[in-house]
Structure 1
Amino acid sequence: MRPKYTIKLLILLIIEHTMSSTLLSFLIASSVLNPTANNNNTHSFTDENNLSVVIPKQSNKVLTNPGIGFTELQRVVSNDPENPFYEGKPVISYPDTSTIYYRWYWDQLTTATDPNLNERMLEKKIDNVLEEAAAVNKKVVIRFMALRGKNDPIYDADVNKDSSGIPCWLVQELYGHGLNGSSCHLSDKEAVSMFKNPLFIHRMQQFLDALGKRYDNNKTLLRIDMGMVGTWGEWNLSGYAAKTSNSVGLVDNGYTLHNLEPYIAALVHAFPHTPKTMLGTDKGDFLSYATNRGFGWRVDCLGDWSKGWSEMEDGYPGLIAHASDIQTNTAPDVLFDQRWKKSAVDFEICQDSLQDWSNIKNPLHLTYDQVQQTFDFALKEHASLIDAKSHQIPNIYQPLLTAFLNKLGYRYQLNEVDYSRNIPKNGTLTINSQWQNLGVAPSYINYPVTWRLRTANGSIIAYHTSNAKIENWFPAADYEDQSPIYKVSDHFQLGNQISKGQYFLDVGLVEKGTYNAKVLLANDTKMTTDTGQSYTINNNVIKNNNSIVSYVDNNHYLYNGNVKYPSSFFFDKHSEQYIKQQNNIGRWNEIATINVI
């Protein structure tokens, strides 16, 4: 191993021992040609017989990566009032996010009288959300729904104020009212029976097919959350079920799996290329029927420790056990506990926020240990996303949150790289690397491991894309165990066009078909951008000022639930600068240097 002397000290030692000028020149050149190797802040490095081994420094930072972490709800960003896409009251304590969650009722996407999807309504709602998310490197999860909560207010200017979730023309078809001045509102009996109605099922299939034709294969659309059945699309009949019902569950109100199979089939037909999740309920065989067909799963009310009966102690354990129970389930999924390897697991906090957990006067108050157990449960079930509804995170939970986010979803770490330092011109650079997934789930999208050669001034010379598939790099089966090691051997053919000289070797996890790095590694190395420039985060902060025009026309808003969002977006100089920043974040890790000789 090369002694860790400074150049100045080497010169003094050489002079003192009257060493040859040839040796002096070699030592000085070696220290200059290998800056990465000598940077002990980022690497541990050994070099012997032309075989170099680099052990990149690990990082304990929270990584904001595609498809993992906390989600935003009905907004693009919560915690950054300087962000040009920020809207509403600041939520500074909310973590950075990579995913936004939006929900639309059927009547928000068609006019009251027209069965066809309305182009204008789609453009200013779904299209704009996808466009905006893509501009700032975020993904979108969508739920389409047919039945509002019974007393939910309607803020959307496009929707009749007495609508229950489906457009008036469909109410007219199903029940004979809703047009010509009559009410679009569904009675309890109509709402409860609607999901068995063959005409409704037929129209639902047409609705989803039209959406799928427009949005399936959209790379910004992360997944579809299976709605369209029940109140809020949550597979129950809350608010509408008869008072004599034992519960608001679908099974308690006469529904069988056979009645609702068409909804799952319809979503598969409409969105064959988009990942999908199914809501878990404590009654019925709907969840396992869907996971058998490739759906991931999600549940509401994470953190419900209510006395007597709770989701954490009764609901979740019951539905998980039932999903694979061949005795009680008519459509059991015997591989349910392994489905996380191919399809996502998501959770939603059913309370307004984690503030309810911390408020000792709130009936939903949790002890600190219960919060820890809540997070541990999500990790045990290999969760990727948590919808915490863009609300404040109490300071007391921030340490727990950091540890939780460092496990939630995937977390890829490069442990070791060995390679030959000196490569003949037009030769082959063999790179052997070792990786771990320190999270609790894989990435459900493959971001190919890609190596590149770069000059000191940032010019990109060549790329090599590995055959390794990171979606197969699974974490430990138990989140507390050590993750397996994945070994990859890549053979980087250096073309004849690569001149003799010294080059930096970088690695990135890139978007398929591009050389745009999208995933941050759990390594603390020098970072460079897609264009090969050095990246320092403090130099990329954009500050607002009074001379910048707001990015949104404040006279035009739409509303969804209690959240308002702009009806049309346009990009001014501020937002253009922010988009450029977000698309030029340094996600390439500088690993080492090689010499083409």
Structure 2
Amino acid sequence: MTRQLRAFVLAVEVVAIAGSNCTKKTATGPQFEETVLEEIDDVLPNPFKGFVTWVGDENPIYDTKLQYRTYEWRDIEPEPGVIDWTEFERGWGDIALTGRRVGFRISACTPGSGNPYDIPEWLVQEGVALRPYSVDGHEGLAPDWDDPRFLEAHRRLIMALGARYDRDDRVAWIDVGSYGFWGEWHVWRNEALAATQATKQAILEVYFEAFPTKPKVIAFDDPFAVKWVTSRGGGIRNDCLGTEEENNWYLYALSQVDPGLNDQVWKRAFITGEFCGGYRGAMEGTLERFELNYKFIQQTHWSFLGPAGGDLRPLSEEHRRNLDKLHKTLGYRFVLRQARYSRSVKRGGRLDITLVVDNKGVAPFYFPWPLVVYLTDSQGEVALQRETSMDIRQWIPGRHVASDKIEIPENLSPGGYDIRIAIHDPAKGKPGILFANAGRDQHDRYVVGRVRVE
């Protein structure tokens, strides 16, 4: 870091300590200008973070950008190799319009589903054995996970899902499911139903083969599976948030896999989950046990929460403040603190720009979305648009300084231009992430300064 840049960062820290929220420009010498940018406290409808509802449901308060569904295998493949895509995508809505991407899980055994068993009837007719279980007041029949016929049919299903959804921008992430009760990788109090390690690995492998690019998470209940998935870049799902005992159990389970696992996985993959106890558990977890769960989510670096807890209607002003605070903390929250940029630049030269950004959330943004710089004229028209080399995936919680040099074309008309920035959603080719700053224009870009082109 140069002496000038080090002084610039120090100046930003002094401004932050002073508590200034104003947008102002300060002179730093003949070559550069600096702009201090105003922070806002709004809840922002950003992608891949916040609250998650069930597919087709809406949060009564927030513009949420994630929805979730668990699919019983028997409901989506009525005949061998015939997947009911209409049923699978029922309730998704127009995601290109709403931005409400989907996460999903496949379950082959869902206690409480209302079905005696949750694999397709044709698979039972092919001879896959069913074995009785009893858990949480529910009784039913689980498949023999080790049966080669089960594994082969399961492989075909997951490969077909991957062929359709691995590169589908409508899908946000995949739960690595299929095994255990609710696809959660446990057979609690029914240990005689457990699969062999070879079977577990076969199920895990097909998910990673079918979905090589899509983010994947797995429930934390099976140490072998958690180690296998996280060692290959996958994340973790905790489906039992809520009480001190439950939260401590999660940390203990991770420590048995690797004492450093809680501090490692979130830096490269999603951590997510929901409250135990459905609606009641979520209400208690965001009211009388809010501070306990808020600190736990900070400690374990969750990106999003739900469906249990993802669609609550606040019961009081205090409850609303709790939910606002939680939503803003989940995942990432980028705040532009200051911009430093060339005061003027010659055509054919380069515009130097440095940004100081705070991530006030608890996790990074995990996708290589580009930060784009625009020069706009006095009418607001774009005269220049360039992707920078700044890698927003590196903006883990804390302060970051990012710099780049923007090539100015020889044929750009001389004059004064506003410098605007935005983070683009590559699937749409336009801004897709909001900063927690004032000054957003109608295209979700932010003015950070002004430069003269000579």
Q: TM-score range by the shorter chain?
A: 0.7 to 0.9
Give the RMSD, CA atoms, in angstroms. Answer: 2.5
How far apart are the structure 2 equivalents of 1:267 and 1:464? 37
State the Cα distance separating 1:428 from its structure 2 match: 1.9
1:587 aligns with 2:437: no
Q: 1:300 aligns with which of 214, 224, 239?
A: 239
How far apart are the structure 1 equivalents of 2:205 and 2:278? 33
CA deviation vs aligned residue, 1:533-589 (integer Å, no higher than 9, x gap): xx3xxxxxxxxxxxxxxxxxxxxxxxxxxxxxxxxxxxxxxxxxxxxxxxxxx4211
Q: How does 1:5-84 map to 2 (within 5 A)?
A: 43-47=23-27, 48-75=29-56, 77-79=58-60
How far apart are the structure 2 equivalents of 1:409 and 1:357? 19
How far apart are the structure 2 equivalents of 1:132 and 1:108? 22
Amino acid aligned to 2:239: D
Any conservation in 1 of the 2:372–2:387 contact (CA below 8 Å)?
Answer: yes
Any conservation in 1 of the 2:44–2:434 contact (CA below 8 Å)?
Answer: yes
Structure 2 counterpart of 1:569: none
1:108 aligns with 2:75: yes
Q: 2:406 aligns with which of 477, 492, 499?
A: 492
1:372 aligns with 2:291: yes
1:507 aligns with 2:421: yes
How far apart are the structure 1 equivalents of 2:304 and 2:163? 26
SS in 2 for 1:188: strand
CA deviation vs aligned residue, 1:319-366 (integer Å, no higher than 9, x gap): 1211216xxxxxxxx65531111111002112222x5565xxxxxx56
Q: 2:368 aligns with which of 440, 446, 453?
A: 446
Q: 2:126 aligns with which of 161, 170, 173?
A: 173
How far apart are the structure 1 equivalents of 2:351 and 2:418? 13
State the Cα distance separating 1:368 from its structure 2 match: 5.0
Q: 1:350 aligns with which of 265, 268, 276?
A: 276
Larger Rg: 1
Structure 1 counterpart of 2:101: 139
Counting aligned pairs with the same residue, the percent is: 24
Any conservation in 2 of the 1:256–1:284 contact (CA below 8 Å)?
Answer: no
The structure-2 alpha-carbon separation of the partners of 1:134 and 1:415, relative to structure 1 and needing over 3 Å to count, comes to same
How far apart are the structure 2 equivalents of 1:380 and 1:278? 19
Structure 2 counterpart of 1:88: none
1:198 aligns with 2:198: no
The structure-2 alpha-carbon separation of the partners of 1:78 and 1:437, relative to structure 1 and needing over 3 Å to count, comes to closer
Amino acid aligned to 1:188: P
Any conservation in 2 of the 1:452–1:506 contact (CA below 8 Å)?
Answer: yes
How far apart are the structure 2 equivalents of 1:76 and 1:426? 52
Amino acid aligned to 2:447: E
The structure-2 alpha-carbon separation of the partners of 1:53 and 1:421, relative to structure 1 and needing over 3 Å to count, comes to same
1:311 aligns with 2:272: no
State the Cα distance separating 1:392 from its structure 2 match: 2.6
CA deviation vs aligned residue, 1:290-342 (integer Å, no higher than 9, x gap): 2112210011121135xxxx3124x21321211216xxxxxxxx655311111
Any conservation in 2 of the 1:130–1:140 contact (CA below 8 Å)?
Answer: yes
Any conservation in 2 of the 1:302–1:311 contact (CA below 8 Å)?
Answer: yes
State the Cα distance separating 1:187 from its structure 2 match: 5.2
Give the TM-score normalised by the residue count of structure 2: 0.86
How far apart are the structure 2 equivalents of 1:367 and 1:125? 32
Which protein has the bigger strand share?
Answer: 2
Amino acid aligned to 2:360: L
Amino acid aligned to 2:175: D
The structure-2 alpha-carbon separation of the partners of 1:466 and 1:227, relative to structure 1 and needing over 3 Å to count, comes to same
Q: 1:188 aligns with which of 119, 123, 132?
A: 132
CA deviation vs aligned residue, 1:48-94 (integer Å, no higher than 9, x gap): 42421101111222222110001111225232xxxxxxxxxxxxxx4
Any conservation in 1 of the 2:335–2:357 contact (CA below 8 Å)?
Answer: yes
Q: 1:265 aligns with which of 181, 205, 222?
A: 205
Structure 2, gaps ≥5 residues long: 1-19, 134-139
Structure 2 counterpart of 1:180: none
Q: How does 1:393-412 map to 2 (within 5 A)?
A: 393-395=314-316, 396-412=318-334
Q: How does 1:413-432 map to 2 (within 5 A)?
A: 413-432=335-354
CA deviation vs aligned residue, 1:490-530 (integer Å, no higher than 9, x gap): 211221232122221100011237640111112122x22xx
How far apart are the structure 1 equivalents of 2:261 and 2:286? 34
Amino acid aligned to 1:44: K
Is the deviation greater in 134-143 or in 253-262?
253-262
The structure-2 alpha-carbon separation of the partners of 1:219 and 1:380, relative to structure 1 and needing over 3 Å to count, comes to same
Structure 2 counterpart of 1:549: none
Give the TM-score normalised by the residue count of structure 1: 0.67
The structure-2 alpha-carbon separation of the partners of 1:232 and 1:447, relative to structure 1 and needing over 3 Å to count, comes to same
Any conservation in 1 of the 2:369–2:392 contact (CA below 8 Å)?
Answer: yes
1:323 aligns with 2:180: no
1:461 aligns with 2:424: no
Q: 2:355 aligns with which of 424, 429, 433?
A: 433
Amino acid aligned to 1:497: N
Any conservation in 1 of the 2:341–2:354 contact (CA below 8 Å)?
Answer: yes
CA deviation vs aligned residue, 1:98-152 (integer Å, no higher than 9, x gap): 11112212122222xx20133xx203532x6556223212221111121222x43
1:596 aligns with 2:445: no
How many residue pairs align between the two structures?
425
1:123 aligns with 2:86: yes
Any conservation in 1 of the 2:38–2:438 contact (CA below 8 Å)?
Answer: yes
State the Cα distance separating 1:405 from its structure 2 match: 2.0
Amino acid aligned to 1:213: A
Structure 1, gaps ≥5 residues long: 1-39, 80-93, 154-161, 177-185, 239-246, 326-333, 359-364, 476-482, 529-534, 536-585
How far apart are the structure 1 equivalents of 2:116 and 2:141? 12
Any conservation in 2 of the 1:432–1:487 contact (CA below 8 Å)?
Answer: yes
